[in-house]
Amino acid sequence: MSTQEHDTAEGASADPRKISVDVVVVGAGTSGCYAAATIANEGYDVAIVERKTEDEAGHIACGDALKGANDFPDAIPKSKIEPAFTNTEVDHGRFEIPQEDTILDIPVPGELAVIDRWEYGRLIIEGADEAGVEFYYDTVVQDVLQDDDGTATGIRGKRKGERVQFDADIVIDGAGSLSLLQDKVDFSDSTFDTNVSYSHFSSAYREVVEVEDPVEWSDALVFKPAKIAAGYVWYFPRTDTTINAGLGFQMSEEPMKLVEDLKEDLRNREEFQGAEVVDKLGAALPTRRPYDSATAPGYMAIGDAAAHVNPTTGGGIAGAAYAGSYAGEQAVIALEEGDVSEEMLWRYNQRVMDHFGGRYASLDVYNILSTAVDVDDLMGLIASMPGEKLAEALYSGTTSFGPLLLLQTAASSFGHWRQILNFYRVKQLADELLTHYERYPSRPSALAGWQDERDRIMDDIYELTGADPKY
């Protein structure tokens, strides 16, 4: 695969090199590759602009766990990415709770795989390339162009010291967490969510570690509480001897020393004696609700750039792939209609909210709760809950604690009753929030009214949990 450079026109020496396409996508991650492939599959000109080199592209900090591996958008054929699925035997979460001297094995619904993340990254790039996407590596996007009425018309950046400009009908921002593009766009004529702060993100770090003997838990995703409530340590087996080990914490909390804390945890585990670290990477990831709106005229944000991540687990690959596909499909409709207004792009927001956005927003309530409770209390509570219900709470957002279950749980969890009752009430509010997201508006002009009602539910959540308002 080589970087293409057609459609270029040299301007005067002070002018940037100009490239014209139908759609420019920033970022060769999951969201960008799926968006661009979707558009290229329909025969439109689409470029992906990526700051990394061609060799380094696809190398992303990740825990390597892919949830919903069976149900992935088909803009890039699944057969293309399957070779990167190195462990498809994983079927449950193993929650280690040292405070309670407990290990909980909790089934994870849906297909699960642990993947060789870099290989997967290369394969989706290859898939998008085969769909007809043009890749421009070593190109750092520095600015977004807008016309007088605020419609995005392209981007500007630097490629190996040379200024470049991409003119496009639509700009798709797949530049990941804390996307720089969003600092450059004037969103005042749009509903685009600008209520975004560092405290909504987690800082996470992982190492890929090779151990001498196969681990016993090669069919499980292992989770362990970190030293602070709003964080966890994970061990995800790529194979039975190659483990992705990492940890993260919500940036609203007291910072953890990620590298040292991980080292300490590895040192204390027998499985990792004599192990070799073969790769290290860290990054920020959004552990917040999805953006209320990720559209502006001529502009859509996808994946981490719009917080399309399960905020309780940090899983964002599937959300990024779907958001990319939905944005790509909407871009195609907009190009066909010759209309890139926010009203035209809005359907993209609706599809995200319908599919997973509402669920992720309701799961964020448990994150908010976790910042307001003591880690030992929380672990005691979790240890006392039935595994399947906890799994539902984590993955479906629709757990229902009927009175009988509540009594049974309470009987086995003497000492945690108050927290359980509190948790039950929090859960009712999370469900109310989910129902409200099911009423996500069908047009941008109705967003403000919908947000007012949502914020009322959030106020009740802050009051009940005692947590500081997150948004």
Q: In this chain, which residue has its C-beta nearest to ligand FAD?
A: 316
Q: Does 144 bind ligand FAD (CB under 6 A)?
A: no
Closest separation in Å from C-beta 283 to ligand FAD: 4
CA angle centred on 285, ends 325 and 245, rounded to 5°: 110
Question: Residues 242 to 261: which contact ligand FAD by CB under 6 A?
Answer: 246
Closest separation in Å from C-beta 466 to ligand FAD: 29
Q: Does 237 bind ligand FAD (CB under 6 A)?
A: no
How does DSSP classify residue 431?
A: H
Backbone Cα Rg of the chain: 23
- For residues 229 and 184, give the distance between their C-alpha atoms in angstroms, rounded to a whole number: 35
Of 143-151, 297-305, 352-360, 385-393, the window that binds ligand FAD (rule: CB under 6 A) is 297-305
Q: Does 303 bind ligand FAD (CB under 6 A)?
A: yes
One-letter-per-residue 3-state SS of 53-77: CCCCCCCCCCCCEEECCCCCCCCCC
Structure tokens that stand for 116 in this block: 């060789």
Nearer to ligand FAD, 200 or 206 (CB): 206
Q: Does 365 bind ligand FAD (CB under 6 A)?
A: no
Q: Does 311 bind ligand FAD (CB under 6 A)?
A: no
Furthest CA-CA distance within the chain: 78
How does DSSP classify residue 413?
A: T
Nearer to ligand FAD, 82 or 377 (CB): 82
- For residues 101 and 306, give the distance between their C-alpha atoms in angstroms, rounded to a whole number: 38
Nearer to ligand FAD, 262 or 461 (CB): 262
Total site size for ligand FAD, rule CB under 6 A? 38
Instruction: Say if residues 214 and 89 touch (Cβ distance below 8 Å).
Output: no
Q: Does 379 bind ligand FAD (CB under 6 A)?
A: no
Q: Does 314 bind ligand FAD (CB under 6 A)?
A: yes
What is the three-class DSSP state of 293?
A: coil
DSSP per position, 165-199: EEE-SEEEE---TT-THHHHS--TTS-------GG
Q: Are strands 112-115 and 152-159 parallel, antiparallel or unpaired?
A: unpaired
Of 22-30, 185-193, 268-276, 406-414, the window that binds ligand FAD (rule: CB under 6 A) is 22-30
Closest separation in Å from C-beta 248 to ligand FAD: 6
Q: Does 309 bind ligand FAD (CB under 6 A)?
A: yes
Q: Return the closest-CA partner of residue 471 out of 375, 365, 382.
A: 365
Nearer to ligand FAD, 244 or 465 (CB): 244
Structure tokens that stand for 162 in this block: 């040379």
Q: Return the closest-CA partner of residue 21 out of 33, 12, 4.
A: 4
Closest separation in Å from C-beta 334 to ligand FAD: 21
Choose which of 28, 46, 90, 185 interacts with ligand FAD (CB under 6 A): 28
Q: Return the closest-CA partner of residue 143 out of 119, 114, 175.
A: 175
Question: Residues 146 to 175: which contact ligand FAD by CB under 6 A?
Answer: 174-175
Q: Does 225 bind ligand FAD (CB under 6 A)?
A: no
**Contact residues for ligand FAD, defined by CB under 6 A:** 26-32, 49-52, 60-66, 140-141, 174-176, 180, 204, 206, 246, 283, 285, 303-305, 309, 314-317, 320
